[in-house]
A and B are shown apart, each in its own frame.
Chain A
Amino acid sequence: MSIWNYVVTAHKPTNVTHSCVGNFTSPQELNLIIAKCTRIEIHLLTPQGLQPMLDVPIYGRIATLELFRSHGEAQDFLFIATERYKFCVLQWDPETSELVTRAMGDVSDRIGRPTDNGQIGIIDPDCRLIGLHLYDGLFKVIPFDNKGQLKEAFNIRLEELQVLDIKFLYGCTRPTIVVLYQDNKDARHVKTYEVSLKDKDFVEGPWSQNNLDNGADLLIPVPLPLCGVIIVGEETIVYCSATAFKAIPIRPSITRAYGRVDADGSRYLLGDHAGLLHLLVITHEKEKVTGLKIELLGETSIASTISYLDNAFVYIGSSYGDSQLIKLNLQPDAKGSYVEVLERYVNLGPIVDFCVVDLERQGQGQVVTCSGAYKDGSLRIVRNGIGINEQASVELQGIKGMWSLRSSTDDLYDTFLVVSFISETRILAMNLEDELEETEIEGFDSQVQTLFSHDAVYNQLVQVTSSSVRLVSSISRELRNEWKAPSGYSVNVATANATQVLLATGGGHLVYLEIGDGVLSEVKHAQLEYEISCLDINPIGEDPNYSQLAVVGMWTDISVQIFSLPDLNLITKEHLGGEIIPRSVLLCSFEGLSYLLCALGDGHLLSFILNLGTGELTDRKKVSLGTQPIILRTFSSKNTTHVFAASDRPTVIYSSNKKLLYSNVNLKEVSHMCPFNSAAFPDSLAIAKEGELTIGTIDDIQKLHIRSITLGEHARRICHQEQTRTFAICSLKYNQASAEESEMHFVRLLDDQTFDCISTYPLDTFECGCSILSCSFSDDSNVYYCVGTAYVLPEENEPTKGRILVFAVEDGKLQLIAEKETKGAVYSLNAFNGKLLAAINQKIQLYKWMLRDDGTRELQSECGHHGHILALYVQTRGDFIVVGDLMKSISLLIYKHEEGAIEERARDYNANWMSAVEILDDDIYLGAENNFNLFTVRKNSEGATDEERARLEVVGEYHLGEFVNRFQHGSLVMRLPDSDVGQIPTVIFGTVNGVIGVIASLPHEQYLFLEKLQSNLRKVIKGVGGLSHEHWRSFYNEKKTVDARNFLDGDLIESFLDLSRARMDDISKAMGVSVEELCKRVEELTRLH
């Protein structure tokens, strides 16, 4: 790999951190707005449910998200503050459907200790000010003036240093906050303050309450007319105001989220750490609170946010499991639950670990993640591209073409499958047993190759061969009419629809026929300049049976020409450029737009937008799909038309938001495809590949496919073993049923096809699995699973004891072969020179696999290396060992065979707290750290002095904005050795927010080109809320902020393809590169993920 890296998101964040409901997009519309860390999603509430409107990238990690209504406004505004101390107020402009920035700003202070308990951002219910608690001991106020404009912010000193929550109280003449805090004796209290805008200071508030529940953590302000605040603890819930104090005990639980139900604040939904949903009710009489009541409603995913939507529907946003749309029923179900889950929304977060495997052995990587936490833990199988689910297949060599035919015009289903070979044509049909068997259509010529076949009107079928066009009854199957090619001419290419036939013979002759009831009439003939290579008359106009346009691809001048029908007048001629002839042309229509697709002999595809009225071609784009000639065919799936491009790299072309998208099909090579919608195999495709004919259905048309395997427990480490076709995971199960909460840890063995758990090894009490590895040792041909553990005792700060367990899989069972006690937690295990390399607390330790006299095996310590705070992440390459330390960044060690010793070779002297490391190549190592940055360091072998050689030089820095838990070499897409993209090495990463990303190492030339494109895109694509892209991507930690270098933001670069043509032209001009070339180069990058 190289130091020039391209970072791109394959799967966007799905961890829902915030949500709110209001009239954002119009005064009448109700919206749900969701924050997924670095993105917000705007949804519309409709009779059909939640309708997604927009996905908005935010150049920051969202710390707070609030909707508010300014005085005299009919619509809500959105307040967003980011973790890097930027904020913005957004407004929706319904006329342009754009997000407009009303205000923005920087609320950072030069001095201040960032709060430990997260940032707080709140808006006064009477819209007098925005309050922010970002640094200990400071409360920042951004006042509104009486026109709703924001004024200069100022700080107020806040005496309480350990703040747990702050909210504004309702119904106060002066803006009043209530502060929940902990004192230095760990007791918790609430206190109120009035904010005096004139004096820029606090005035002692109307009331306070001391000595609350020790677990009090959440404040819920109660609106008018009741006012006051609810304080939610772990064992009690308290209502507090200047005049009232009511408390109720609750079953011990940690409340993670709340959602207000009624506008008057009399009911709230509370979600706890176990995913239980409660309803909290304030009982009141004459606007006086008389008590609190709490009822268990049922179970959901563990909620991080709860938003009451409308009509008893509630959105549950989750960080640990899938988010949900639920309904609150009046009557309990059989299990006593009032909660009905109606919709689940995928969340891969937190991705704690993952592995890349090729389960189907097709050369296509799949990512299997350990996702979710606690009871919502799961495995997710994430796969790129579209799968074909095989229903039936037969061996058939040398297929030259395939077409499906119906037995009558009105038939819903296809009956016949015409399969053409070099010197014969065979007809397959479904028999009564729903089996495919060979049959005959008497009127067809089966002794020759079929060039084209199609259903025709009046229960007829058309067969075009090199010598004639045959019109056959689909009922009697007898020949009704025949058009013969003039002697001396043979038909080279042909196409047809229900009423028309267009064919070309040698010498550039184009012949147009129309189909009647038993009649084939030659309507027009034209002679073109050159030979014709391909043609199409797919009807995409108003009449589904008749096309008014014909498109023809030409040899020699390498052009496509559009003719009007029936008179064959040339309307448009487009030179394709280059020397590769068009091999397949297709007229098609997606989402109301008409397109001309033209596939070349070298695997490239040109697309144009076609004006059906004038035949004009615009918006030319070129992409590379494969390396071999492509054959284009339409098919439909779920009532939508798509295009299948058969080639060495089969692809489905589809449209989303009026943009053409290309998705890989998970098959190696497809020579021909035709839709085959039979009664037995509805909505299927017939696919010719590698001497085989397959009938199969196609997956949903989308880029990434995710399969969920729910575990009900938290998987923390995963590893695949090819030889035994199993996965092994380290997992833990929380036992919440008993009074004392306890955890149990396991090593589990799963079948890699069914994902069933086939064997379990329970770990000791307090013992948890920290690392897992599949490996083999020198002088032993067996493969083993090695598991590193730690005994996590409540009284110890760091584990002082652990184990390495070596398992073999025998008869589908985990058999413990050897175990070795260690003096600490085994954070990492690596196969190393036929031995086992373990990271144990501060130490790197190498173990030999020794044969004892009695024939059993044991791990024997060989050598080690001290000198880390905690060696958490280890990668190896040859004799080199790269260590990611808890707080001392990356160091490089080397194993010396002769001396049998491990020595430090070099280190990065920065104080980075690592979260993952990977070796990109011999000299360059990649790290991720806990301030959400990525960086690369380089070994300096040529350094002049020892000091220089001992220093790992930082060569790349980038703010990813995501917490990376794992890197793995590999790819989500099938890699073609002969394509450009196939040469680019990639690393996949998984993050806490559920992001799966790809880091690709680019050649220097390509890097420079894309860097230029990125800087031009920055000028065109603006940051939402005025946030700066350059600032967002700058490397940032407590000590420094420096511009990103040697990393490019692929998400920004690939958004080039979403731009309007005019904007693309702007960038094309600035770059001095054609739009077509830019599109092609960016499109290629999208194929990395």
Chain B
Amino acid sequence: MGSILGGWPSYDPHNFSQLRPSDPSNPSSITPTTYHPTHNRTLPPPGQDISTESKNILIRHFYKHAEEKLRPKRAASELLAPENGSKQPRASTSNAPS
């Protein structure tokens, strides 16, 4: 057992070296000074007030897929032009109910 219990990491060997244990039956309830900032730097520097991108995750997904679809199909479009055109109205009807 000794081997795994030894060699505890030490950042500063002085830390806790002069600790005087308190009476364990009498728990301490010291609270430090309460901080009340009155300075102006509680607001972040410009550009660091972060928000989530407004584009909905689903819309982003659609756009991304649309882009992905568009790219390879641009090459094929010359051969399959009529079929490609017939797909577009169907995509718009599927959006309609929402």
Contact = CB atoms under 8 A, between A and B. Distances in A.
22 contacts: A41-B31, A42-B32, A48-B20, A49-B20, A52-B31, A53-B32, A55-B33, A56-B34, A98-B37, A101-B42, A149-B48, A153-B50, A263-B9, A293-B4, A311-B16, A313-B16, A330-B6, A346-B29, A1022-B40, A1024-B42, A1026-B42, A1059-B36
A1058 B28 contact: no
| B contacts with A: majority SS | loop
A109 B61 CA distance: 17
Contacts of B57: 138, 154-157
Given A43-B32, A154-B57, 17 more contacts: A47-B14, A47-B19, A52-B32, A87-B50, A101-B44, A104-B44, A104-B50, A106-B52, A107-B50, A154-B53, A295-B1, A310-B10, A1021-B37, A1024-B35, A1024-B42, A1026-B49, A1060-B38
B16 A1026 contact: no
A322 interface: yes
A53 B35 CA distance: 10
* Residue from B6, B20, B35 with most neighbouring chain A CB atoms (10 Å): B35
B42 A103 contact: no
Nearest to B47: A149
B12 to A, nearest CB: 6
Contacts, number: 204
Contacts of B32: 41-43, 52-55
A46 B20 CA distance: 12
B22 interface: yes
B43 interface: yes
Contacts of B18: 47-49
Contacts of B12: 30, 45, 310
A425 to B, nearest CB: 41
B24 A153 contact: no
Nearest to A85: B52
Interface string A65-92: 0000000000000000000000110000
Given A1055-B36, A1059-B38, A312 B31 contact: no
Nearest to A200: B60
B15 interface: yes
Nearest to B22: A343
A246 to B, nearest CB: 16
A831 interface: no
A341 interface: yes
B21 to A, nearest CB: 4
B51 A313 contact: no
Contacts of B30: 52
Nearest to A264: B9
A342 to B, nearest CB: 4
Bin chain B's interface residue count: 35 or more
A309 B20 CA distance: 17
Interface in B36-84: 36-45, 47-53, 57, 60-61, 64
* Residue from A30, A53, A56, A702 with most neighbouring chain B CB atoms (10 Å): A56
A48 B19 contact: yes
B50 A150 contact: yes
B96 interface: no
B27 interface: yes
A350 B38 CA distance: 33
A981 to B, nearest CB: 22
Interface in A998-1028: 1020-1026
* Residue from A96, A109, A330 with most neighbouring chain B CB atoms (10 Å): A330
B17 interface: yes
9 cross-chain pairs, A with B, having the tightest CB-CB distances, nearest first: A105-B50, A52-B32, A344-B27, A103-B48, A1022-B42, A346-B29, A312-B8, A49-B19, A310-B15
Interface string A307-339: 011111100000000100001101000000010
Contacts of A100: 41-42
A601 B13 CA distance: 58
A139 to B, nearest CB: 10
B5 interface: yes
B48 A102 contact: yes
Contact of A330 (B2, B29, B37): B2
A153 B51 contact: yes
A1024 B34 CA distance: 12
